[in-house]
Structure 1
Amino acid sequence: MSDMDQEGILSAWLERMTLRQKIGQMTMAERLSITPEDVKSHALGAILCGGGSHPGDNNVEDWIAMNDAYWQAAVGDEDSPGIPILVGVDAVHGHGNLKGATVFPHNIGLGAAGDPELVAEVARATAREFLASGLEWNFAPALSVVQNCKWGRSYESFGSDPELVATLGASYVEALQAEGVIGCVKHWVGDGGTWQGMDQGETTLPWEDLEATHIAPYYPSLEQGVMSVMVSFNSWNGDKCHGHRFLITELLKEKLGFDGIVLSDWDGIDYLDEDYGAAIRKSVNAGLDMFMISERWKEFIDTFERQVLEGHVDIARIDDAVRRILRTKLRYGLFDMPRPANRPGIGNADFACAAHRELARRAARQSQVLLKNERETLPLKRGQRILVAGKNAHNLGHQCGGWTVSWQGETGNDTIRGETIWEGIRALAPNAALSEGLDGSDADPERHDIAVVVIGEKPYAEGHGDIRPGDHVFVEAGSRINGLMNPLEAYAGTLVHSEVHPEDLACIRNIAARGIPVVTVLVSGRPLIVDEELASSSAFVASWLPGAEGRGVAEVLMGDYEFTGRLPTPWPGSEHKDGLLPKAGAVFPAGFGLTLQAAKHRAARFG
């Protein structure tokens, strides 16, 4: 179909639609707040399933049934609106909302791997499992360029280098969309550069720096034809991105020529103004096309309609937004698709298959970064009597991090399918033993030749992962922003790991004091200040959030595979408590990573 034919079809659709139907198409409601009947009566354009929001028992069959019901409501009979609906999910490291899906390393780990083809393979596997459950729209990848590791979303970033983020992000987009899933680059723009690393905070930068660091990574994905862009919660130089006409309309749409859907983040317009009508008109007039609404979507539609009828929003702006939504659905082929239950690949055998799990294991292997290896402590030997300890040694939830089954992630091994790092070591080393209580108190040089201590963070997502020293940060951040804030309770007050989790350092020291060499494996969503842990360990590995295949970590520890991971960000030390990733004076620079073959770093740049 030619572009002219396509635009003619869209014009015909727009002429037939009422104002309420157009606003309905601009509305994306959370599944917990709607029914199939609501989809039919309000002509809703899309549905999202937020983090941890899932139907029934959270199996493939439940997802297919849910998506089928919404589809039927939108197009199933003569009383339906006749425009098929999109259903979207944040599948940011595999289809993590769905229990039993393959869980890959988070982006920060893929950034450490630095392999565009690996990222493409992960995107393709994610797409297949996504399509198997009847979904169409993945709110990924994040093209955030993390600049302060206090930020609770650091692990959603591929790293601190705009080139690396651009390359890996475009590889993900191309593969995901080629496999038949709508991609969404986010968060437009500057989310990784906020003051103090505060989620939803203020990014204060001159235009040249914003463009070079935070906008440039989007260019390759836009050239790849990414179908949607999600706007960021943060502000730029005081003005909220959700109401920023220059960033959304003048730059993204007009200068860069993006003609797909620009959507809000979760209730993102609520922080523009205390008056809901004012918030709606500011965001619509700035250029937002679709609105992610958690609960009050009916109020949104009613208030939006009043804004139009009162002359605050021009109908031409509405038509532009709806044209973009329908254009995306048409390009995607949604109008020609059968109901989800009858689509090719639905419920297919690729879901969580052995090949996908092996891919996740390989991604975990490639993401491991060796930071220290005194006296060739690594690789481990199969015949060694290995004590495995630490709170993250046998905990799939901690290993996978946030956005896994639930928004904030899980603790324990009951809800995620895979292997813990301990289970991976045990499978390869018959003389390995798990410390009772995981604290290493049973370490004994007569029984143990070496210890692997797996330490790190507990799961978190978004602002709940922020590191904030106190409430004064809210006050100052608020003073910089022309709008509202809703800060979440932070993870901790400092990046110094021994102050947040003293039990980890105690475990390392307890074992080392008994003359047993310690290999420390740090499971975390960002670089942390671990000077003491490093000093107390004979070898040290940055494992990031390696996903559900812990054997991938074990395989490099055992020397079955080489350490090939390189730091995707500089590594801060005790003098970097402000969280800003140091351009000079880092404990380890970006690109650092030891190998087993040579006890010296290779700082070769990515690219």
Structure 2
Amino acid sequence: MTSTAVILGLTFTGSLILSGCADQAKTTPAAQTDNETIEARAHSLLLKMTLEEKIGQIIQADIAAVTPEEAKQYNLGSVLNGGNSAPGGGKIAPPAAWISLADEFWTASTDTSDGGLGIPLLWGTDAVHGHNNLQMATIFPHNSGLGAANNPALMKEIGAVTAREIRATGLDWTFAPTLAVAQDDRWGRAYESYSERPEIVAAYANAMVKGLQGTSGTDGFLNGDNVIATAKHFIGDGGTEFGIDKGDALGNEAALIKLHGAGYGPAIAADVQTVMASFSSINGEKMHGSKRFLTDVLRTDMGFEGFVVGDWNGHGEVPGCTATDCPEALMAGIDMYMAPESWRGLYDSLLAQAKSGEISQERLDEAVIRILRVKLRSGLFEAGLPSSRASADIDALGSDAHRNVARRAVRQSLVLLKNEGDILPLRGSPTVLVTGSGADSMQQQTGGWTLNWQGDNNPNDIFERGETIYSGIKTAIAAQGGAAALSSDGSFTEKPDVAIVVFGEQPYAEFFGDVSDLVYEFEDGENLKQLLDFKAKGIPVVSVFLTGRPLWMNPHLNASDAFVVGWLPGTEGGGIADVIVADAAGKARHDFTGRLSFSWPDNGVGHPINAPTDEGVLFPYGYGLSYGDDGRLAALSEDSGVVSGSAFNGNIVARGGAAKAFTVYLGDSSNANTPISGLRSNSLGGLVTTRGVDYKAQEDSRQVTWTGKGTFSVRSPRPVDFANAGGNAISLQWRIDEMPEGPMHVDIGCGDGCSSQIDISSIIRNIPTARWVQTNIAMDCFTASGLQTDAVTKPFALISEGSAKISLHSVSVEKIEAPLASCPG
């Protein structure tokens, strides 16, 4: 069928591809579209609901932390499967297990044997690039790649395919699309953004919502093969200072709304049913607690009529709140709390607050009726058991028709940055060596939010659909009479005609992907060494770079004859071969049509670049070569502007500030990772503040004040080797201004799940206040509790459990000749 969307005055037309045969014995109820009937039914239900049922409706629990029987008992309005949750408790589960659990939740929630109304719950899922929790699903390129395609009609197809596969497993609701307008590529969620430009996000928002939900006013709207969509994360998540996840967007409010709200108007015009609140803040105000934004801006100004759902315990980050106690979020405009494992405590506190009047009955009823309206519109009350629905057809998962849409999306998203000597497309009958960490890795090409939250530990054989990049190249090269061989380390016995090196970022999601600069790797990087080795041997090199965001790649561009940005293409890696390998006649099968939807940097510093005139732009937004263009590229500077972590000389804090290659962060319950530069600063929730103080010179030290639990930490963008400094102790030059009211720890980290934390309360108790002293802590104390000194990413952190005031002049790794005291603790 053909679909037409009118967005920003432009008309986009494309074909909508669906698959899967409906079982005629199954039923597909029509969604309720008569507004008067919906209102009457919703209000009739509301009048019959007990207070307990109302509280249950505004809570969403994770399937890993709630049973169907508990969902019935507490009358929960919704469940979700988080990034690491699947039926049965594992990472993945067969489609039948998803449908079976959906049946169990449906049966439990609609059971009226206890005298309740039996309101069916909604099941939501993070299907953000296809139904990405399923090992046989069609996984599309991540949004940053799709933005390069600049094709709203394609987005509508992708939305329709994703919805069809979600429905195949009995689910109702997806937390997509993400409408962030990412302005700082250091942000760990940059790949969830379609573009740095609001016009692309706006066009895609309308198309994707229509693809997922269907067209408002038609019979298929919100039911059948369509699902409920979510516009997220409202608002400003792509504009946080330093690109820090859960951070703070600063600036003129009207300008911020215009930029970061660009996608919401078109999504609301497409009748999007839910909006998810952002973890982030605007000018210090947390979104989950902001009536100004969630009510005044979203509803009064933008006209949104669905319901607002929170993000993963995001209400607990509102100042003064916890995960189990936050009436402020409801009063601000959150209609449904996402309380994955905290739902029981939250239920109890909300019920008590509703009984006491702390939560107004009017606001509670408003939230409940908004949720009921969406459920009624979607036909949920009449839908019946998920397994009985016509859409519950697991053969739709990863069907050939769906995979073809994904493969086309890969082709259209590729961006060519260099093509020296027109080496691409590969012609003739070449012998091709394919190597690099991403060449034969489904995990690397699919990235984060694939089978689990971070997208890691996913071997090829866990995927039941899809094709690796190498497999696609091998097939294409063979079709023109050549041969392609895979080499894990780039070695060969017979010199190839060309080497294709596929490399890039390893999977990450959310704050795990936050970086403090955009250097992919320095001169000692293994990928660069491999490119230079091929060049030294006279072998032409085609680089295929897998990434969620633009990174500083000047040395790699210099060392490559052709350079292709492959983004994170998803399961259909064969789409890359479709473009870079010619047909048997030597002609391109598909041209490069992708154009950068993000500016590409010419240094690694990471300062935001969002316009051609911004300092630090190498390739501007909209850049990309096609076959026939001049693919030559002049030699680029290989000075990244960033100090390599290998230059670590033992200094961590110097004159109160971070030593070279490091950054100071403050953290509290609102945000654990707020980077700072000036001496005067504060954590997002205001529990940790700093200012300059004098020791040997004016403001050569930093005073840190805690008014509650918080962290002062120094971090490195990449691992450093403490052994390089030749020290045996961490040495602090500091002053205790006010004794901590609770325990205080020193923490040194060496990556995810690797850290050593030591309670230094006993040391502090023996230090006189208001006097500068030097304190040495043996490095053995940290290594004994698990620190890996050759890969340190957090050289130093002070964590206080309560109020305290301490001034720091320096922190360093030192060689101490005198005997060191025994480890504290």
Q: TM-score, normalised by structure 2?
A: 0.68
How far residue 501 of structure 1 moved from its aligned partner, in angstroms, is 8.3
Structure-2 separation of matches of 1:255 and 1:413: 48
**Code of the aligned partner of 2:138:** T
* Residues 414 and 566, structure 2, Cα contact 8 Å, conserved in 1: yes
* Residues 113 and 565, structure 1, Cα contact 8 Å, conserved in 2: yes
Query: How many correspondences in the alignment?
Result: 573
* 1:202 corresponds to: 248
Cα 1:172–1:419, aligned 2, differ >3 Å: closer, same or farther? same
Structure 2: gaps spanning 5 or more residues:
1-32, 215-224, 582-587, 633-825
**Code of the aligned partner of 2:121:** I
**Code of the aligned partner of 2:513:** G
* Residues 273 and 279, structure 1, Cα contact 8 Å, conserved in 2: no
Q: Equivalent residue of 2:538, what SS?
A: coil
Is 1:121 aligned to 2:154, yes or no?
no
Give the alignment of 1:279-428 within 5 angstroms: 280-410=326-456, 411-416=458-463, 417-428=465-476
How far residue 294 of structure 1 moved from its aligned partner, in angstroms, is 1.5
* 2:509 corresponds to: 461
How far residue 2 of structure 1 moved from its aligned partner, in angstroms, is 3.8
Q: Select which of 533, 539, 542 maps to 2:565.
A: 542
* 2:550 corresponds to: 527
* Residues 21 and 42, structure 1, Cα contact 8 Å, conserved in 2: yes
* Residues 325 and 349, structure 2, Cα contact 8 Å, conserved in 1: no
Listed one character per residue, the Cα deviations across residues 503-554 of structure 1 (whole Å, up to 9, x for unaligned) are 1111111111111111111000001100110011111011100111111001
How far residue 439 of structure 1 moved from its aligned partner, in angstroms, is 2.9
* 2:526 corresponds to: 503
Structure-2 separation of matches of 1:450 and 1:568: 29
**Code of the aligned partner of 2:96:** E
Listed one character per residue, the Cα deviations across residues 198-243 of structure 1 (whole Å, up to 9, x for unaligned) are 0000110212221221012210110110000000000100010010
* 2:105 corresponds to: 70
Please identify, of 555-564 and 591-600, the stretch whose mean Cα deviation from structure 2 is larger. Answer: 591-600
How far residue 600 of structure 1 moved from its aligned partner, in angstroms, is 6.3
Is 1:439 aligned to 2:470, yes or no?
no
How far residue 279 of structure 1 moved from its aligned partner, in angstroms, is 5.3
* 1:555 corresponds to: 578
How far residue 4 of structure 1 moved from its aligned partner, in angstroms, is 3.0
How far residue 3 of structure 1 moved from its aligned partner, in angstroms, is 2.5
The structure whose residues are more often helix, as a share, is 1
**Code of the aligned partner of 2:490:** G
Is 1:233 aligned to 2:279, yes or no?
yes
Structure-2 separation of matches of 1:340 and 1:398: 33
Listed one character per residue, the Cα deviations across residues 37-84 of structure 1 (whole Å, up to 9, x for unaligned) are 111111000000011311135111000000000000011443354101
* 2:599 corresponds to: 570
* 1:472 corresponds to: none
How far residue 14 of structure 1 moved from its aligned partner, in angstroms, is 1.1
* Residues 439 and 470, structure 2, Cα contact 8 Å, conserved in 1: yes
Is 1:6 aligned to 2:54, yes or no?
no
Is 1:191 aligned to 2:237, yes or no?
yes
**Code of the aligned partner of 1:434:** A
Q: TM-score, normalised by structure 1?
A: 0.92
* Residues 315 and 323, structure 2, Cα contact 8 Å, conserved in 1: no
* 2:205 corresponds to: 169
Cα 1:547–1:278, aligned 2, differ >3 Å: closer, same or farther? closer
Structure-1 separation of matches of 2:413 and 2:394: 29
How far residue 579 of structure 1 moved from its aligned partner, in angstroms, is 4.7
- What RMSD over aligned residues (CA atoms) do the two structures have, in Å? 1.7
**Code of the aligned partner of 1:594:** L
* 2:78 corresponds to: 46
* 2:217 corresponds to: none
Structure-1 separation of matches of 2:436 and 2:450: 21
* Residues 568 and 591, structure 1, Cα contact 8 Å, conserved in 2: yes
Structure-1 separation of matches of 2:363 and 2:523: 49
Structure possessing the higher relative contact order (Cα contacts under 8 Å, 6 or more residues apart): 1
* Residues 405 and 415, structure 1, Cα contact 8 Å, conserved in 2: no
* Residues 166 and 216, structure 1, Cα contact 8 Å, conserved in 2: yes
* 2:318 corresponds to: 272
* 2:22 corresponds to: none
Cα 1:500–1:236, aligned 2, differ >3 Å: closer, same or farther? farther
Is 1:107 aligned to 2:155, yes or no?
no
Q: Select which of 51, 64, 67 maps to 1:32.
A: 64
The structure whose residues are more often strand, as a share, is 2
**Code of the aligned partner of 2:485:** L
Q: Percent of aligned pairs with the same residue?
A: 43
Structure-2 separation of matches of 1:583 and 1:408: 33
* Residues 418 and 631, structure 2, Cα contact 8 Å, conserved in 1: no
Structure-2 separation of matches of 1:245 and 1:75: 33
**Code of the aligned partner of 2:529:** A
Structure-1 separation of matches of 2:424 and 2:387: 50
Is 1:217 aligned to 2:263, yes or no?
yes
Q: Equivalent residue of 1:429, what SS?
A: helix
Is 1:450 aligned to 2:498, yes or no?
yes
* Residues 277 and 311, structure 2, Cα contact 8 Å, conserved in 1: yes
* Residues 149 and 581, structure 1, Cα contact 8 Å, conserved in 2: no
**Code of the aligned partner of 2:555:** E
Structure-2 separation of matches of 1:218 and 1:600: 38
Q: Equivalent residue of 1:587, what SS?
A: strand
Structure number with bigger Rg: 2
Structure-1 separation of matches of 2:128 and 2:232: 11
Structure-2 separation of matches of 1:458 and 1:278: 35
* 1:138 corresponds to: 174
Structure-2 separation of matches of 1:403 and 1:48: 15
* Residues 279 and 288, structure 2, Cα contact 8 Å, conserved in 1: yes
* Residues 281 and 313, structure 1, Cα contact 8 Å, conserved in 2: yes
Please identify, of 115-124 and 230-239, the stretch whose mean Cα deviation from structure 2 is larger. Answer: 115-124
Cα 1:278–1:61, aligned 2, differ >3 Å: closer, same or farther? closer
* 2:95 corresponds to: 60
Q: Select which of 188, 200, 208 maps to 1:152.
A: 188
* Residues 160 and 569, structure 1, Cα contact 8 Å, conserved in 2: yes
* Residues 175 and 229, structure 2, Cα contact 8 Å, conserved in 1: yes
Is 1:595 aligned to 2:626, yes or no?
yes
* Residues 576 and 582, structure 1, Cα contact 8 Å, conserved in 2: no
How far residue 575 of structure 1 moved from its aligned partner, in angstroms, is 5.9
**Code of the aligned partner of 1:300:** L
Is 1:91 aligned to 2:127, yes or no?
yes
How far residue 412 of structure 1 moved from its aligned partner, in angstroms, is 3.2
Structure 1: gaps spanning 5 or more residues:
469-493, 602-607
Structure-2 separation of matches of 1:75 and 1:500: 61
